[in-house]
Amino acid sequence: MTAPPADPPLISIRGLTICFGADAARPPTVDDVELDIRPGEFVALVGESGSGKSLTAHTLAGILDPAAKLSAERLEVAGIDVLADGWDQLRGRKVGIVFQNSRAALNPIRSIGRQLADVFKAHGTASGSAIAPAVVAALTDVRIPDPKRRISAYPGELSGGMCQRVMLAIALAGNPSLLVADEPTTGLDVTTQSAILALLLERVRARRMAAILITHDLELARAYAERIIVMHAGQIVEDAPAAALFANPRHPYSALLITATPARARSVDDLSGIPGKTPDLNARTPACRFADRCSRAEPRCRTEFPPLRIEVDGHGFHCWRPL
């Protein structure tokens, strides 16, 4: 999707397909996804619920639902060929992930200090007497006040924002090269949201990590990411630098998403919402899954998924009749 990179991509995915259930006739939930991410790149993965963005991200983090069936031509993450060697070397060590609802994502009966120490020990990032200071340093890095006292605190004693910071510290504890953030600010109040995202951005930059931000909020994506990938019903439809996407969306779905955002709408009428809903997947699903909701669809859209077209400055999209 991007210009031929000088250094090899951190992440390279070709033909990623994820299915659920034993019904062979049912179209896959994630359909033939192709993706490259460079070291240090900050990418946003955007789409409605059911777009497959979380599944893709969870695949990268190595925590795909065991009921899911995955197939791919290529799945390389930070030098590890996942298809050949599996995810064991990947989790926490190359890829870290933070989730929404952080308090539920932390072990309620183990102090946050010990949870952090567990990760340090698992990856050998610190050991023995070096662990305690490493834990304090990690908490300081995520701006938790009074870290020395906090290491014996339990998640139930912390606010939502603090839990989110702890989760970030845990994700970073293995010194990964990629951070996946799965809707990290859902459920937090607006001030905390921006504080957390700013912290995330700062930490990622300081460690020269790549990051993938999963979100349904385009404005958020625009504010923090340099590149935005738009997904619809398990298919990537557009992949462009953030500014270019907003200035000149090529795929009809992206354009609708942008106008559906309150900040971008010029008038209330523009908040049209997007007609229809995310399609159920069955034998009648068209090749381009947006076809049924698209005002520009033509017969070809139903039978053949449009191949990738890349235009100047790396603006890529899949559409037979782009805007």
Partner 1 sequence: MGTLRVIRGRALAAAPNLVGVVAVVFLLTHVLPGDPAAYFAGPSATAASIEETRHRLSLDHNLLEQFALYVRGLAHGDLGQSLISGQPVLADLAQRLPASLELTLGALLLALAVGIPLGMRAALRPDGWVDGLCSAISTIGQATPTFFLGLVLVFVFYYLLDWAPAPLGRLDSMLSPPPERTGFWTIDAALAGDLPLLGAVLGQLVLPVVTLGLFGVGPIARMTRASLIEVLASDYVRTARAAGLPPRQVLWTYAFRNAVVPILNTVGMVFSFLLGANVLVEKVFGWPGVGAYAIDALLASDFAPVQGFVVVMAFFYLVVNLGIDVAAALVDPRVAVDG
Partner 2 sequence: MAETAAKQSAVTAANIRTTIAVALLAVFVVAAALGPYVAPYDPLAPAPLEALTAPSLSHAFGTDAYGRDILSRVLVATRLDLIIAVAAVLIALTMGTALGAFAGWAGGWPDRIIGRIIDTIMAFPLFVLAVGVAAGLGNSISSVIVATAIVNLPFYARQARSDVSRQRKAAYVEAAALAGFSPILLVLLQILPNIAPPLMVQSSLNLGWAILNAAGLSFIGLGVRAPTAEWGIMVSEGAANIFSGEWWMFIFPGAALMIAILTFSLCGDALRDLLDPKRR
Q: Which is nearer to partner 1, 110 or 277 (CB)?
A: 110
Which 40-79 residues touch partner 2, going by CB under 8 A? none
Contact flag: residue 279 with partner 1 (CB under 8 A): no
CA pair distance 248, 194, nearest whole angstrom: 27
HSE at residue 178, side-chain half, CA atoms within 13 A, is: 30
- Which of 5, 14, 17, 63 binds partner 1 (CB under 8 A)? It is 63
Our CB check for partner 1 shows the closer of 65 and 311 to be: 65
The footprint of partner 2 on residues 217-246 (CB under 8 A) is none
Among 10, 61, 179, 188, binds partner 1 (CB under 8 A): 61
303 binds, among partner 2, partner 1, none (CB under 5 to 8 A by kind): none
| Stretch 124-163: interaction string toward partner 1, x if CB under 8 A | ------------------------------x-x-------
What would the x/- binding string for partner 2 be over residues 16 to 35, using CB under 8 A?
-----xxx------------
Q: Which is nearer to partner 2, 23 or 146 (CB)?
A: 23
| From the list partner 1, partner 2, none, partner contacted by residue 292 (C-beta under 5 to 8 A by kind) | none
User: What are the Cα distances from residue 232, in Å, to 50, 147, 252, 293?
Assistant: 8, 42, 11, 11
Least Cβ distance, residue 118 to partner 1 (angstroms):
6
The partner in contact with residue 174, picked from partner 1, partner 2, none with C-beta cut-offs of 5 to 8 angstroms by kind, is partner 1
Three-state SS letters, the chain: CCCCCCCCCCEEEEEEEEECCCCCCCCCCEEEEEEEECCCCEEEEECCCCCCHHHHHHHHHCCCCCCCEEECCEEEECCEEHHHHCCCCCECCCEEEECCCCCCCCCCCCCHHHHHHHHHHHHCCCCHHHHHHHHHHHHHHCCCCCHHHHCCCCHHHCCHHHHHHHHHHHHHCCCCCEEEEECCCCCCCHHHHHHHHHHHHHHHHHCCCEEEEEECCHHHHHHHCCEEEEEECCEEEEEEEHHHHHHCCCCHHHHHHHHHCCCCCCCHHHCCCCCCCCCCCCCCCCCCCCHHHCCCCCHHHHHCCCCCEEEHHHEEECCCCCC
* CB of 24 vs partner 2, minimal distance in Å: 8
Judged by beta carbon distances under 5 to 8 A according to partner kind, the member of partner 1, partner 2, none in contact with residue 21 is: partner 2
Q: How far is the CB of 182 from partner 1 (least distance, A)?
A: 10
**Candidate residues 11, 112, 171, 218; the one interacting with partner 1 per rule CB under 8 A:** 171
Which residues bind to partner 2, rule: CB under 8 A? Answer: 21-23
Which residues bind to partner 1, rule: CB under 8 A? Answer: 61-63, 90-93, 96-97, 99, 101, 104-110, 118-119, 122-123, 154, 156, 167, 170-171, 173-174
